[in-house]
Amino acid sequence: MARVLIVDDSPSQLIGLKRIAEKLGHEVITAEDGSAGVETAKRELPDLILMDVVMPNLNGFQATRTLAKDPKTSHIPIILVTTKDQETDRVWGMRQGAKTYVTKPINEEELIKAINEHMP
């Protein structure tokens, strides 16, 4: 069983993403904003991170860049899961270090495929 960190400021999104990850048999850890997500990732070293973009304190792009540049966490695949659906957002997210970009509302099959693809 792998450990998945879900970082999202929306309680309903956290519940939905957690349900999908747990259905796949993964243990889930959560954080409610980018700053908490970075701290949690450094402390817990999850196998995969599902990261929202639009959040208070530190947005998902900033949090992804921080984790991707840190030698302690740079190996952790990050999947951005966001309402920002412009091509420029997608390109920017990938430049920050994300492995995949999934848009909300979530297509469960697409998210499961992305999780399975990047799970170590």
Q: Residue 86 has what pLDDT?
A: 95
Torsion angle in degrees (nearest 10) through CA of 22, 9, 113, 120:
-70
Question: Considering the domain boundaries, does residue 118 fall inside one?
Answer: no
User: What pLDDT shows up at residue 1?
Assistant: 84
Whether 68 is covered by a domain: the verdict is yes
The residue segments making up the domain with residue 38 are 3-53+60-110
d(CA 32, CA 25): 22
Per-residue pLDDT of the chain (120 residues; tens, 9 = 90+): 899 999 999 999 999 999 999 999 999 999 999 999 999 999 999 999 999 999 999 999 999 999 999 999 999 999 999 999 999 999 999 999 999 999 999 999 999 999 999 987
> What pLDDT is stored for residue 106 in this prediction?
94
Give the CATH number, domain containing residue 33. Answer: 3.40.50.2300
- Any domain includes 87: yes
**CB of 99 within 8 A of CB of 118?**
yes
Total domains, the chain: 1
With respect to residue 117, please indicate whether it lies within any of the assigned structural domains. Answer: no
Is residue 115, in this structure, part of any structural domain at all? no
5, two tokens: 């960190």
